[in-house]
Amino acid sequence: MKGLTYEGHTARIEFDAEDEIFVGHLTGIDDIVGFHADNVADLKEAFIEAVEDYLETCAKIGKAPERAYSGKLMLRVDPEVHAKAARAAELAGVSLNSWGEKALRRAAEETVG
């Protein structure tokens, strides 16, 4: 499932069966920003409102609205997966870093868009 995206911010959406509402939270930020609605149209509006409120609040207090990512990523994977990825990179004629970045980019695009 793809999340909602607005102004560079993305939300993860879940359905709360007990309350029969959709619940969303902004991803990729240190702060906790949530919103909810009982239908998709209202959920989209609540999401946009949550992002705009978050950005306004950050501006008011002089805080950067999103934490920066360094581009450095340490992963622990099964040794068999590591070996297969290294072989795949070698067969593709690229470094394991380049191969891994391409695989992560493809997976992220499928999920986030």
Question: 21-52, pLDDT tens digit by residue?
Answer: 999 999 888 889 999 999 999 999 999 999 99
- Reply yes or no on whether the pLDDT at 69 is more than 70: no
Q: State residue 77 phi and psi, 5-degree precision.
A: -130, 165
Cross-strand pairs, 10: 5, 27
Assess contact for 47 and 11: CB atoms under 8 A.
Answer: yes
Q: Can you tell me the mean pLDDT for 66-80?
A: 82
- What tokens were used for 32? 């906790």
Question: 84-113, pLDDT tens digit by residue?
Answer: 999 999 999 999 999 999 999 999 888 877
What residue segments make up the domains of the chain, in order of their start?
4-61, 79-111
Nearest one of 8, 9, 38, 10 to 23, comparing CA atoms? 38
Q: How many CB atoms lie within 10 A of CB 67?
A: 10
For residue 102, CA distances in Å to 6, 83, 96, 111 come to 24, 17, 10, 14
pLDDT at 58: 93
Q: How many CB atoms lie within 10 A of CB 44?
A: 17
- Reply yes or no on whether the pLDDT at 1 is more than 80: no
- Reply yes or no on whether the pLDDT at 77 is more than 60: yes
pLDDT at 84: 95
